[in-house]
Amino acid sequence: MRFLTTLYLSLALMSTSAFAQSFPSFVSEDLNGKTHSLPADFPGNPTIVFIAYKRGQQPDVDSWVNALNLDPDIGPEFVELPVVGSLTRLISPVVDNGMRSGIVDTSLRARTITLYENASKVNTPLGFDGRDDIRVLLVRPTGEVIWKTSGPATSQGVDGLKTVYAQSLKEP
C-alpha cells in the first residue's frame, strides 16, 4: 500500500511540475502586419494557444476551435501560431501572403501570428518534441503555461481545457 501511495504522489508531483514551464519569448507579426511580443501580447489572461508546424495540421486546430465554439470576436481569447522554420524567414512575405489569402476575416488574421523559428526553439522550453502533432496550451501573458496537450481535440482534452480555463478566471 505504501508503494502505491508513493507512486501516486510521485506521479502527482510530476504532472504538477510538467506545467511549470514558461512560454518562450518571440517577436513576430500577425497576418494583419501588427508586431507582437509573445507571450506578453497574448490577448487574454489566459489565452488558448494553438501551435501548428505543417499546413496539413489546420484540421486539428479547427477541431479544437469548433469543439470549444471559439469566435475571434467574442469569448475566450485564442491565437494560432504556425511555426514555419527560420529558413523560411527569407520568403516571409510569400508565406504570409499565402496564409492571408486563405484567411479573409481580419479578426482571425489578427489571431494568426507566424513564428519564423525552428520547432525546437518553441518545443524544448514547453517540454514537447517533434512536429507531428499540434500543441494546445493555456498561457498567461507572464508566460506561465497552466495547461497543455498535443493532437486533435478529444472529449477528454476539451473537458480538461474548459475546466482549467474556468478555474484560471477565478484566480487573482
> Looking at this protein, which amino acid is placed at residue 72?
P
Indicate the SS3 state at residue 136.
Answer: strand
Q: Which domains does the chain have, with CATH numbers?
A: 22-170 (3.40.30.10)
Question: Of 57-66, 84-93, 108-117, 161-170, which range is least confident?
Answer: 84-93
Its pTM stands at 0.84
pLDDT in tens, 134-145: 999 999 999 999
Rounded to an integer, the average pLDDT of 145-168 is: 97
Let me know: does 141 contact 45? Beta carbons within 8 Å: yes
| Phi, psi dihedral angles at 136 (to 5 degrees) | -130, 125
CA dihedral 32, 36, 40, 41 (to 10 degrees): -20
> First CA to last CA across the chain, in angstroms?
38
